Amino acid sequence: MHLALFIIFGALCVAGALNLLFQRHPINSALSLIVVMSSLAVLYLLLGAEFLAAAQVIVYSGAIMVLFTFVIMLLNAGEEQRTHGSKMAYFAGVPGAAILVSLLTFIFLSNRGNFAQARIGDYIASTGDLSRVLFRDLLLPFEVTSVLILIAILGAVALARKEH
């Protein structure tokens, strides 16, 4: 059953990513990306990262992609047009990605003896385990991240402001 879940949600991830690539309207790409992120949340659950799965849904699918959807709706983005750059991009992009995918897959699958087997239910990282590391050993990076978010908020407000 573990295998069935992995195959279903792995296939959903890949299908969503391919849909992002092949759709012409950006709103369809955005929805495919939401599907990818939610399927990744399930894969995190299979790997025992339950807090990360919840954070993935809340932060990525539920906030960042809402931001993308708002921008697409507000700017009234239409379907993509074929311009002079897209032909060159096809010749560079498709072989490049094909080489990359075959290289990565070959390396990972040929070394699969060096990696362990994951079984569902082992090594579940509870929120307490994550918090213990985050608030004791990594307290300074955590606080710096909060400053980073503050700077990002200020930057976004300043950049998107209407000029008078």
Partner 1 sequence: MIPIAWYLALSGILFSIGVAAFLIKRNIITVFMSIELMLNAVNLSFVAFSRNWSQITGHLQVSGQIFVFFVMVVAAAEAAVGLAIIIAVFRARNTLNVDQVDLMKL
Partner 2 sequence: METGFVPFVIISIVKIIVVVVILLMAVAYTVLLERKVVGRIQNRWGPSRVGPFGLLQPLVDGAKLFLKEDLMPLAVYRPLYIIAPMIALGCALMSIAVVPFGANITYHGVDLFQITDVNIGLLVILGITSIGVYGIALSGWSSNNKYSLLGSLRASAQVISYELALGLSLVGVVMRAGTFSLRDIVNVQATHGLISWNFFGGFQFVAFFIYLMAAYAETNRAPFDLPEAESELTAGYHTEYSSMKFAMFFMAEYANMITVGCVATLLFFGGWSSPFGHLFDGVLTGIAAKAVLPVFWFVLKVFFFLFLYIWVRGTLPRFRYDQLMGFGWKFLVPVAIGNIVVTSLWMGIFLPVQ
Residues that bind partner 2 (CB under 8 A): 27, 31, 34, 50-51, 53-55, 57-58, 61-63, 66, 69-70, 73-74, 124, 126-128
Residues of this chain, 5-64, that bind partner 1 according to CB under 8 A? 6, 10, 13-14, 17-18, 20-21, 26, 29-30, 33, 36-37, 40, 43-44, 46-49, 51-52, 55-56, 59-60, 63-64
Residues in the interface with partner 1 (CB under 8 A) total 89
Residue 140 touches partner 1, criterion: CB under 8 A: no
| 143 is a site residue for partner 1 (CB under 8 A) | no
Q: How does DSSP classify residue 136?
A: I
d(CA 121, CA 128): 17
Q: Applying CB under 8 A, does 122 fall inside the site for partner 1? A: yes
Q: Do residues 125 and 48 lie in contact, with contact meaning Cβ atoms separated by under 8 Å?
A: yes
Query: Which are the contacts of 38, defined by CB distance < 8 A and separation ≥ 6?
Result: 56, 57, 61
Q: CB 34: neighbour CB atoms within 10 A? A: 20
Q: What is the closest distance, in whole angstroms, from the C-beta atom of residue 33 to partner 2 in the complex? A: 12
Q: Which is nearer to partner 2, 17 or 31 (CB)?
A: 31
Burial of 32 (0-12, 13-18, 19+ CB in 10 A): buried
